[in-house]
Chain A
Amino acid sequence: MDTVEGARIGRPAAPPARDNYLTHSAGFGSWAFTLDHKRIGVMYLVATLSSFLLGGLAALAVRTELLTPGRTIMDADTYNKMFTLHGAVMVFLFIIPGIPAALGNFVLPLMLGAKDVAFPRLNLMSFWLWILGACFAVGAVIAGGVDTGWTFYTPYSTTTNTNVIATIFGVFILGFSSIFTGLNFIVTIHKLRPVGMTWFKMPLLLWALYSTALIQVLATPVLGITLLLLIAERALGVGIFDPALGGDPVLYQHFFWFYSHPAVYIMILPAMGVISEVISIHARKHIFGYRFIGLSSVAIAAFGFLVWGHHMFVSGQSGMANVIFSALTFSVAIPSAIKVFNWLATLYKGNIQLNTAMCYGLMFLITFTIGGLTGLHLGSLATDVHLTDTYFVVAHFHYVMFGGAVVAFLAGLHHWWPKMTGRMFDERLGRVGAALVFVGFNTTFFTQFMLGSHGMPRRYYDYLPKFQIYHVISSIGSYVMAAGFFLTAYYLLHSLFRGRPAPMNPWGGNSLEWHTPSPPPHDNFAETPLAEDPYDYTHLVYDSATGGYLSKSYHEAEA
């Protein structure tokens, strides 16, 4: 069992003296060529958070421009490029890789009691591909940007004179990064489970990452071919999607959304997995409905492939397709709702610890539910005709992607921060940051539901004066949110230098990553641990000397 030398709660102390994965080797090469999944996870974390900063600054620019009708700080073409930048960076560089690559890479092998993922070199290649794709995408932005929106609809994307090919080639490479990560996770979960850990004894995060990985492997190649076809269309004038050349623009949307709808489940499934872990551990209660939650992850992955046409209700696709896709869209809401009910049941009569991670977890339940319910408005044909391409859609997807995936990412970041860095952060500042994010987020996006239902179209640079009050409120909310994020960045970075050293098990979890020191040694475990029920906390007791939880037998022996 691990004890921390010379540390007491509240007083910053020297970093742990023993060797861990961070101190195991030094130098740029030891990180750039590492095969250690933990280091790769950390590099992904830095990379994706940097992308979040870039995309977030673009968002602030967009919101600032929308403070007044007409020109505020930029012209219309720049505005188009700015929201395209925001969307493309956030979707492809941050949210899709986000939880699986940054948190999943770190935690997944630890939860399996394994030494690494199945293919460590492929894992490193995934990261390098991310970097390469990001270079193309960001390079395209610096060289003048793209103004098509992140969806690259034809025929505008085939005829506009902006850097479309450079951007989508970057996205193509990022797609392979995603595919290889998914491939790695599927094989790892199939083959590297420890003795005694059957499928229904795995932590639920692994069910979530497994379902995500299935989508990553099966859906992303279709994006790949879509982008290749788009490049061919622009470079060679092939004519599959552009009507001026004999093509069909709605076909492009079929191709694009066949990937991009499952992609949103790539974004949300890992988030739901994180929430399962966080809610159970911080409520000190066994997860309720384990099988339902686990199997609903797979169900969401499967159903997610059947509903892509609900992005195309007004595109010109046939009425028959509209009806089929609308009906299927209602079905895909069911497994998500099952999860929400199970999480609520887990909280009921639990012993809720309002740690920062739990604050974000509770926030998730509110914002994700709102986002999910408003998806039903958009899934019904009659209401969608009014709401499509308005701010209602913008608000809906921000509630699920931000209020869902990003909030869960923050929950997971705070939950595993002590394990990854060996440091505890300031909980008071953490809760303040969470409050700022919550207030700012709802201010920003709830007003956008109203904007949309009153008729304000999305991606519009100019608008009628009657909408201005909503836009101003929304923009103020975005500044509050930004303040919350900057505060979060501050106290997390501060903890790296002055944070209290973290105990092995600060929150009292029982999945295997809490059975190894914080930060873990290079080889993860001194001895391969035996798998237990990951949600059984009855034997864990809080020990104030270490600031963490210890197994009851050990604690009694010490007393």
Chain B
Amino acid sequence: MDQRSKILAIIRQVAGQSVDPTPEQSLFESGLLDSFTLTDLVAELEKQFSIRIPDSDLTPRRFDSVERIETYLQGRQ
């Protein structure tokens, strides 16, 4: 599974919905994520990409779309 597919699978898992957001779509404004499911999203990203996301990186904007998540993960590699 490529990176984008993995991210989308995580979003579907934490949102509890079978959704297919566009890469630039805001996950918060579209209602797919809220403050608490964002925490779940970050935890799943850490688990499935085997990374530790420091608290200093935890800003909602950084994880607000598939594209932004991809950018963040690429910066961590």
Say if A and B assemble together. Answer: no
Q: Which A residues are within 8 Å of any B CB, using their own CB? A: none
